[in-house]
Amino acid sequence: MTLRIFLIDDDTSFRKLVKLKLKSFLSEPQFTEFGDLTSARAHFSSLSANGEGSPDLIFLDEHLPDGRGTDLLEEEWFTDLAVLSVSSDDAPEIPGKALKAGATYFLSKKSISEPLFEPLVRGVIDRNKIQKELTLTKVKNTVIDMVRTHIGTLRHEINNPLGAVLGAAYLIEHSSEASPEQREAAQLVEKSGKRIKHVLDQICEAMDQEAEMETVLKADQHVYHIPGDEPWDEKSKTSSEKDTCKDET
């Protein structure tokens, strides 16, 4: 799998060294390079506007011609991204500032050639992947909970008037004063009402049990198959059309 790696550093020699080291243990890394904060900002702005994918790893130098790497971190361009903050400056406050601003890890430029570099990079990339998966799972669960609540509300709000409709249909159907046409209409209302109740009950049950419902094709639309319905897909639809043709002939 191709890994997208951004190198934000004005030192071209360092960027070449990083690329050589990464190519020695990563499969098909794809590099995008920036020599200053301005070009990096412009690129990330275009990524957001075009909806393009984010990089898998970012090397961010602390000292750049137009500012500091921590400035870019604090602007929250790199939220939920793996960022290795790097610097040749040995000032003791730099690592702490970088991590506080949002960097995943701080690395002295001298450490690029050390044996620790490979497992560190792999660990940062893997950690970021796991974090993204956890975030997606959390979002998915939140959406499911919201849908479950909406469906439960819909079921409650429909069942109340539906009960009144079914009751009225029953009274008309069994009334001695109702005409045959009225009884037939009441039977149709009762059948349709029970159908609505059945569909709502089945959807709520599937949501509560987190069961996967089979999709079928109805009226050229992909919908969920409701248990108790006759199977209906493109194949059965075609067969039905063939039978109709036979009957006509």
8-29 pLDDT per residue, tens = 999 999 999 999 999 999 988 9
pLDDT at 49: 57
- The overall pTM is greater than 0.75: no
User: How do the domains of the chain map onto residue ranges?
Assistant: 3-114, 138-233
What are the backbone dihedrals phi and psi of residue 10, each rounded to the nearest 5 degrees, phi first? -85, -5
Q: Nearest-CA neighbor of 81 among 113, 61, 59?
A: 59
pLDDT at 43: 92
Within 8 A by CB and 6+ apart from 220, the residues are none
Q: Nearest-CA neighbor of 59 among 90, 17, 119?
A: 17
The mean pLDDT of 100-126, rounded to a whole number, is 92
Average pLDDT, the chain: 83
Report which residue type is found at 136: L
DSSP H/E element including 182: helix 180-209
pLDDT of 249 higher than 70: no
pLDDT confidence band for 246 (50 / 70 / 90)? very low
pLDDT at 210: 67
pLDDT at 239: 44
DSSP H/E element including 83: strand 83-87
The mean pLDDT of 172-195, rounded to a whole number, is 89
Within 8 A by CB and 6+ apart from 127, the residues are 82, 104
Third-level CATH fold of 3-114: Rossmann fold (3.40.50)
pLDDT of 129 higher than 90: no
Which region, left, alpha or beta, applies to residue 220 given φ > 0 means left and ψ of -120 to 50 means alpha?
A: left
Angle separating helix axes 117-173 and 180-209, nearest 10 degrees: 160
pLDDT at 232: 47
